[in-house]
Amino acid sequence: MSQEFDSEQSLIESFVRRLAAKYDRRYWLQCAKTGQPLDALWRELGKAGFLGAMAPEQYGGSGVSLTRLAILMEQLGNHGIPPLLLVVSVMGAVAIAKHGTEEQKRRYLPPLADGSERFCFAITEPDAGSNSFRIRSLARRDGDHYVLNGQKVFISGVDQSEHMLVVARTIAADSASDKREGMSLFIVDTNAPGLTAHRMDTQILMPEGQFQLFFDEVKIPRANLVGEEGKALRAMFDALNPERITAAAMGVGIGRYALSKAVEYARTRKVFNTPIGAHQGLAHPMAIAKTELEMASLMTHRAAEVFDAGGDAGMYANMAKYAAGETAAKTVDLAIQVHGGSGFMGETDVITLWPLARLMRTAPISREMILNYIGEHVLGLPRSY
């Protein structure tokens, strides 16, 4: 990897180290426990230009670089303060920057970049998670508007966002000749009349909650259609890779944070006459975790670089997400094991990491669907579904 990259990475590292001295894990936990947004942290990220990492400079951004954003996300994770909203908001930023109209770019990118307005992302429906083509939310044309009806589930951070990038059908699935036809992308304000949001009972300690959404005759101006009507697939897939890559970065970060806690504990805790870290039964799994975390990190950077260079990042993005998801979950499990019974106490703050780390195997895309992708698109195997 180039020296330039190393030097920027270390600068982003020192930025986050300073930021995390002020907005530390206690701050993050406080927000997580009370369901409050990471407002102050978000403002600093905006002020320092990091939220504009996916927006061109003429729209208030810092020039498009997923690599820098991924490094930022990873570093925030390293300190135990990852904002999930960064993963979902990248979808809005990429879709608008790459496929939005001039007017949309001017309206939405500057506030997104300075942190004054946030984006969540809504695709999942009760009957369409892994199989997104089965979504039923339907937007019908009505003069200069679309009218949207439908339901979404598991949508993160709705209460913390001003806008939402919504995937909906403009041709119902059963009338489309090809299931890929008729998928469209819309920008919807989270306070739009007819849209109601109910907090779901997801049991994950993090500042962003999940919401079930009902769209009841929600009017969307035609100007809020992103990309071509019915042909959103391209725009969606363009935005899905960055989502996977930032999610991978988050997984690596959470894993590193958990491992650092495990190492610290193993260095000091004595059960027989040496610190427990001297026992290979714990030292080797920790060494393996470290190795796997660094492998996942390299894969994540590679994926981001390919995306930035305009290449097809699909293979790397999926592999990075797989590697990071697996190692995040395994490492937190290990950190709990290293802590013995204390691992289950709130005060050691390791069991608290488990649901979030474990989520990395399920969302934004499950490990099975990633492996399906690699089987089919990388290895050329036939598909089962």
Ligand X SMILES: Cc1cc2nc3c(=O)[nH]c(=O)nc-3n(C[C@H](O)[C@H](O)[C@H](O)COP(=O)(O)OP(=O)(O)OC[C@H]3O[C@@H](n4cnc5c(N)ncnc54)[C@H](O)[C@@H]3O)c2cc1C
Residue 312: left if φ>0, alpha if ψ -120 to 50, beta else—which one? beta
Query: Which helix (H) or strand (E) covers residue 151, if one does?
Result: strand 145-156
CB of 63 to another protein, least distance (A): 7
- Residue 149 and residue 168 in contact, taking contact as beta carbons nearer than 8 Å: no
Which of another protein, ligand X, none sits in contact with 279, Cβ below 5 to 8 A by type?
none
> Which of 12/85 has CB closer to another protein?
12
Question: Quick check: 291 binds another protein (CB under 8 A)?
Answer: no
Q: Please, is 217 exposed, middle or buried when counting C-beta atoms within 10 Å of its C-beta (0-12, 13-18, 19+)?
A: exposed
At 234, list the tokens.
Answer: 């391209």
Binders of another protein in range 122-151 (CB under 8 A)? none
For ligand X, the binding residues (CB under 6 A) are: 88, 120-124, 129-130, 154-156, 202, 204, 210, 359, 362-366, 368-369, 372, 385
Asked if 19 interacts with another protein (CB under 8 A), we say yes
Q: Between 48 and 295, whose beta carbon lies closer to another protein?
A: 48
156 binds, among ligand X, another protein, none (CB under 5 to 8 A by kind): ligand X
CB of 320 to ligand X, least distance (A): 17
DSSP letter (8 states) at residue 305: H
Assess 52 for contact with another protein (CB under 8 A).
yes
Three-class secondary structure of residue 49 per DSSP: coil
- Are 247 and 87 contacting, i.e. CB atoms less than 8 angstroms apart? yes
If one asks whether residue 193 binds another protein (CB under 8 A), the answer comes out as no
Q: For the chain, how far is it from start to end, CA to CA, in angstroms? A: 39
Q: Which DSSP state fits 128? A: B
Residue 204 near which of ligand X, another protein, none (CB within 5-8 Å, type-dependent): ligand X
Q: With CB under 8 A as the contact rule, which of the stretches 2-10, 118-126, 212-220, 345-353 interacts with another protein?
A: 2-10
